[in-house]
Amino acid sequence: MYVQTKREHFKFKQCWNEEFDMKVLAATLVSATLLASANASADTQFVALDNSPGTELCMAFASNKPLKMQKAIKNNRVKKHQIDDKLACNNMSLAEFASVYGLNRTSKFMNLDVSTSTSIKDLAMAKKELVYISGSK
């Protein structure tokens, strides 16, 4: 019969607490990173110039929400592969538009190859940017 001593119990408890602390720290860092990236994309506000189907699709793409993009595609009765080739937002291809404004979620949904780049941006000093969107007709 094995009896655990107080010293062994203390070592086990201390080890478990360290592991738990590391997991909490990792979760906190991941959450902070996600919030910072969400705030960076929230600095840009998109405004539609007209009510054309192209502009509607561009606005859905600019929302960076795949479900919204999927609904816009369904409402306009087009296919994803048709949009990739023909839709231009502000006279830019979808891949270009996504890389300029950091729209990684909708570009992933549309299977676009968007090259990533790293930059440092002071979020406290960032001003809200207003972008007017017009789609191809």
Whole-number Å distance between alpha carbons of 120 and 132: 25
Helical ranges in 42-124 per DSSP H: 53-62, 66-75, 80-86, 94-101, 104-109
Q: Tell whether pTM > 0.85.
A: no
**Which tokens in the block code for residue 103?**
């729209």
In tens, the pLDDT along 49-76 reads 999 999 999 999 999 999 999 999 999 9
Whole-number Å distance between alpha carbons of 88 and 69: 15
- Print pLDDT tens along the chain (137 aa): 666 666 665 565 555 556 656 666 566 655 555 554 444 455 789 999 999 999 999 999 999 999 999 999 999 999 998 888 889 999 999 999 998 888 999 999 999 887 665 555 555 555 567 888 877 76
